[in-house]
Structure 1
């Protein structure tokens, strides 16, 4: 679940609120923000956190988190960087993609943020960098890559040069660009961009630039000056390894069992049938390792597989150049598929597609003309990428929830939700009064009153609606996207009511037993609803999360689907990214599972059919006498639970 403000590193308090790059560096075991003027300058002895936020016009914000480790970074800083990346991900709602970047082997996505390149700097980052005085230190770099450039410092020696790459020699008064005779035009063009970058950032734009062609030794003063820095001209030897025929590495396929042990399975040629949908596999191609995760594998199995691969790479002494790629079933890359002799060239049809074709064939055989109806438009009726504010109601007081808390509601409380989104030429606004099922009447009334006051003060004629817990419209879920509803409440009136009634306060506590039903249609529309922690709350159509004092269980109903299992994994991460749940499939529960629910009992095992909301009705109202200027939105009564649109 999102990290509470009190547990979140102060450096991350406003992270992800604006599009673009944000960078932090670890200094003395603390996160320090890196100014924009220093973006792209990475010290080889430091570890960095880089956040890239993209706010598309339609859809939710997209976050990529990278933690960059210099070659001389201390182990304690490397470990802290991975922890802080996980903490930042949790603060953003566990919806980012994380990457581990090693100096000299960065991903293309990471390098694309910094134009034209990054040039690692020797030393350790300090937030109080002083001016460097003294003799200018000559440095030489190699540039590789036609689209994004890998820049690496190499020893200032003639032996560092070769015919394949582009080199930059940076001196106090002049920058030399040396182009190997076998380098491409694109690499040379990128090299010129790097030269200009060094000129602007290290020389203040005031130095000369010279280009040196490999093999063209003429009486040019720049060429003579370049070679004089190496003690005079001498031919560059051919790489003896380039003429050798490369030997194709042996490829091995391993099954990763539940204990994390690698078991070699089969031999070349490999076939797709070797990959079972409820298992994880490793395809070892020497310089590249693929990890394939079946669609039916669970979160715990994937975590075990990931740890097993990391230990394998470390124990085998593989270099940092070994590229790790994690693939899910159905998202295999062409390179991965090429290692399997019989991989289908087209995607396998889904079951409902096969059934649809069979039914159509039956009707055609009986002489009926069959035409396919167009797909139903499932797009939400409004833009769901707007801005959300949520206030908790406590009598006459409103408390604005933080970004990390606004999707965590309590059944004993009532809330006011303001949603602003782009409309036709201006911003439109929705106001919801969300009324918890256990909220006291006074708080419900106050929530409606506060909502109306806010709507009256708005200038764009907003829409208002009351929503009761468990009767939420689809649109409400689409706006909040990831919603958790806990038992109990924090309102003082709710606490007073519990005390006067002498009943037990059920307010959620991380140290006590709790059961959550997971539901939804996609990662952008999913909910975890806390239900009574008894066996009768289970239903074979759903997945559940059971939290006990000793462990965490994920329960998978026999009638749930693969998309449900995906939502289950995501919701576990959202509730608490540090949880390591024990996966339980219906029918294979342990005694500890049933004991936590107070014993085994009968529960619903039939397929649950979702009910449909009645069609909305439009009423015409005629006001005779009385107050003439009554806002129309105060006259219209919305049928609770229906998805609503508003006619201006």
Structure 2
């Protein structure tokens, strides 16, 4: 553990002491522990820090820290989550691998921590977050999409949100409807069934009727008619429009930059691990993923500056939202990072 805990956030005291998942939400630019009953619910206007502790060799713990950025959060809140992630890593001894998670583009590793799915919801702390016991039931519409990793999120409760390509879940007080777009995949439909069980447990005390509604089937069928009645009757729907979230980042030949006082400087020559010098920070740009490497002895303020530099670099390059940023410390490199130095 860090010996300089007095400069770190007290909200992290005691973190990482046993295997499992711990979550903090950024509230007024400070991390606040999230009740376990709220795990899996992520508000689009907020940022979260997720610590996953696993048992390693010899009884030591391994740490992965993810900071999740909601689609409607502010740049300042996102920056706070990134910096607080560095502080948490410092408290854990600097051995954690840090991952940036953007809503809608979460990594498989991040999603694996949650039993069925994560549920991004409209709103956030700034819009007046209410505790679960204060909430009244709200009819919500969700979309499940993705071919390999299926993700779920709340969408506007409006027929214009529906399309032929995805699976939708309409969660009402008495019944949950699964609407299968005619061009949706088997994976999306299967994941939607898992999500429905999650919603039943979360909002219906485990008991609720479920109905499957098939796209392009007559609204005279009982369940189909009930489903469309929530939207004011059968409405025409189309294909899902292509948006910014559909842009897939391209992998490019790795380029190495040194980071000094938050500024990047290109390091020329054939890529080699010998270029990574103790006591320095580096950014390895691989297009679809950007790595930040901290050498031994890097001070907390230098790590924070490097973190900010990486965020600014990705933004300046106008990379897609799904571009990954992974931060790691000398001696705790991931296999994917090491592999970049073996590719010729």
- Normalising by structure 1, we get a TM-score of 0.42
- 2:271 paired residue among 252, 267, 276: 276
CA displacement, residues 174-203 of structure 1 (integer Å, 9 cap, x when unaligned): 211011222222221110111121122112
Q: Kindly tell me: are residues 220 and 275 of structure 1, through their superposed partners in 2, closer, same or farther at Cα, counting changes over 3 Å?
A: farther
Q: Kindly tell me: are residues 161 and 262 of structure 1, through their superposed partners in 2, closer, same or farther at Cα, counting changes over 3 Å?
A: farther
Q: Kindly tell me: are residues 58 and 217 of structure 1, through their superposed partners in 2, closer, same or farther at Cα, counting changes over 3 Å?
A: farther
CA displacement, residues 629-648 of structure 1 (integer Å, 9 cap, x when unaligned): xxxxxxxxxxxxxxxxxxxx
In structure 2, how many angstroms separate the alpha carbons of the residues matched to 1:80 and 1:292? 18
- Does 2:158 correspond to 1:157? yes
CA displacement, residues 182-234 of structure 1 (integer Å, 9 cap, x when unaligned): 22222211101111211221122343211011233364200112123333334
Q: Kindly tell me: are residues 281 and 65 of structure 1, through their superposed partners in 2, closer, same or farther at Cα, counting changes over 3 Å?
A: closer
In structure 2, how many angstroms separate the alpha carbons of the residues matched to 1:228 and 1:290? 47
Match of 2:52 in 1: 52
Match of 2:131 in 1: 129
In structure 2, how many angstroms separate the alpha carbons of the residues matched to 1:86 and 1:291? 14
Does the CA-based 8 Å contact 2:99-2:325 persist in structure 1?
Answer: no
In structure 1, how many angstroms separate the alpha carbons of the residues matched to 2:247 and 2:166? 23
CA displacement, residues 594-625 of structure 1 (integer Å, 9 cap, x when unaligned): xxxxxxxxxxxxxxxxxxxxxxxxxxxxxxxx
Does the CA-based 8 Å contact 1:146-1:190 persist in structure 2?
Answer: no
Structure with larger RCO (C-alpha < 8 A, sep 6+): 2
Does the CA-based 8 Å contact 2:43-2:120 persist in structure 1?
Answer: yes
Task: Could you tell me which runs of 5 or more consecutive residues in structure 2 were left unpaired when the two chains were aligned.
Answer: 277-282, 328-333
In structure 2, how many angstroms separate the alpha carbons of the residues matched to 1:172 and 1:255? 53
RMSD: 4.1
Task: Could you tell me which runs of 5 or more consecutive residues in structure 1 were left unpaired when the two chains were aligned.
Answer: 266-273, 338-342, 344-648
Q: Kindly tell me: are residues 142 and 59 of structure 1, through their superposed partners in 2, closer, same or farther at Cα, counting changes over 3 Å?
A: same
- Displacement of 1:101 in angstroms is 1.9
Match of 2:182 in 1: 181
- Normalising by structure 2, we get a TM-score of 0.74
In structure 1, how many angstroms separate the alpha carbons of the residues matched to 2:309 and 2:93? 27
Does the CA-based 8 Å contact 1:116-1:148 persist in structure 2?
Answer: no
Question: Which consecutive aligned stretches of 4+ in structure 1 deviate over 6 angstroms post-superposition?
Answer: 246-252, 298-307, 325-329
Does the CA-based 8 Å contact 1:254-1:262 persist in structure 2?
Answer: no
Paired residue secondary structure (2:264)? coil
Counterparts of 1:89-108 in structure 2, within 5 Å, are 89-108=89-108
Match of 2:331 in 1: none
- Displacement of 1:62 in angstroms is 0.9
Q: Kindly tell me: are residues 91 and 128 of structure 1, through their superposed partners in 2, closer, same or farther at Cα, counting changes over 3 Å?
A: same
- Displacement of 1:239 in angstroms is 5.5
Across the two proteins, how many residue pairs are aligned to each other? Answer: 317
